[in-house]
Structure 1
Amino acid sequence: MTPDIHLSPRLIVPDPDRASAFYQDALGAEQVFRAPPGDDGRPAVVDHRIGAASFRVSPAVRPWGWLSPHDLGGSAVLLEIEVEEPDAVGERMVAQGAEVVVPIEDRPYGKRSGRIRDPFGHLWIITGELCHA
């Protein structure tokens, strides 16, 4: 039997405090820990929780190989979040500076989903139940 395992993706961003504020406002994330600022004034890590899921944001540090999507020329990972109101979440993200990559619409595979690029270059699939208008 596998011991209890917890996976926490860490999103590399230029400004962890700005990213933390975005994820709190746009996704309803709760900040549960913020490391003190380092020599450059940025925290090394800020932990968040959304429901039972958790994730972290950390600053880009080129010598460590911690590169943001902007440093890489795009995101290498898709983050998928299932929410009750995908349209509302997408609208909040865009209002906070994100960009629609694929519009949130009812999809033939039985979900309402779309893709949003956050202001830090990370790609999010926002998904939920089909719209029953």
Structure 2
Amino acid sequence: MTALNGIVPCLTIDGAKKAIEFYKKAFGAEEVSRKEAEDGKRLMHAHIRINGSDVMMWDLFPEFGMSADKPHGVTVHLAVDDADTWWERAVAAGAIVTMPLENAFWGSRYGQFRDPFGHSWSIGGPLKA
């Protein structure tokens, strides 16, 4: 197993198997590993890699105190080489735009969207001429 460092997002998702497929389509994610729960329906743990960065996830387990409320207050940011390409792929896969992709005042091409599972994501890259 590869050693992890830095900050690694860990997402609680009601439907982690479907989320992995979405992230593959939307971000070109690579599935590193998964561990099924004893019930055979949910994932106890999954590890994907997006643009060289690790993301962990698991299904909702109310029996462990996890809430079904949609996530709030956190945006997972993807720093990429071509924001338009990444953006178009995510939107085509079903991302819901919350802030259109545009050249931002701080010198980045930037936009935000929500995935079908309620998580907020942003994409940023070099300015487009």
Q: TM-score, normalised by structure 1?
A: 0.85
Which residue of 1 is the match for residue 77 of structure 2?
80
Which residue of 2 is the match for residue 101 of structure 1?
98
2:124 aligned with 1:112, yes or no? no
Question: In 2, Cα distance between the equivalents of 1:74 and 1:33?
Answer: 24
2:42 aligned with 1:45, yes or no? no
Q: Which whole-Å deviations, capped at 9, do the CAs of 1:43-89 have from their partners, x for residues lacking one? A: 2111011243101121112232333xxx3244231111111121222
Alpha carbon RMSD of aligned pairs, Å?
1.8
Extract unaligned runs of 5+ from structure 1: none
2:16 aligned with 1:19, yes or no? no
SS of the residue aligned with 2:91? helix
Contact 2:51 2:80 in 1 (8 A): no
Contact 2:45 2:57 in 1 (8 A): yes
Number of aligned pairs?
126
* CA 74–54 in structure 1, closer or farther in 2 if over 3 Å, else same: closer
Question: In 1, Cα distance between the equivalents of 2:5 and 2:81?
Answer: 26
Percent identical among aligned pairs is: 33
Give the structure with the larger strand fraction: 2
Which residue of 2 is the match for residue 28 of structure 1?
28
Extract unaligned runs of 5+ from structure 2: none
Which residue of 1 is the match for residue 64 of structure 2?
64
SS of the residue aligned with 1:45? strand
Deviation at 1:40, TM superposition (A): 5.0
Pick aligned residue for 1:121 from 114, 118, 123: 118
Question: In 1, Cα distance between the equivalents of 2:81 and 2:13?
Answer: 27
Q: TM-score, normalised by structure 2?
A: 0.87
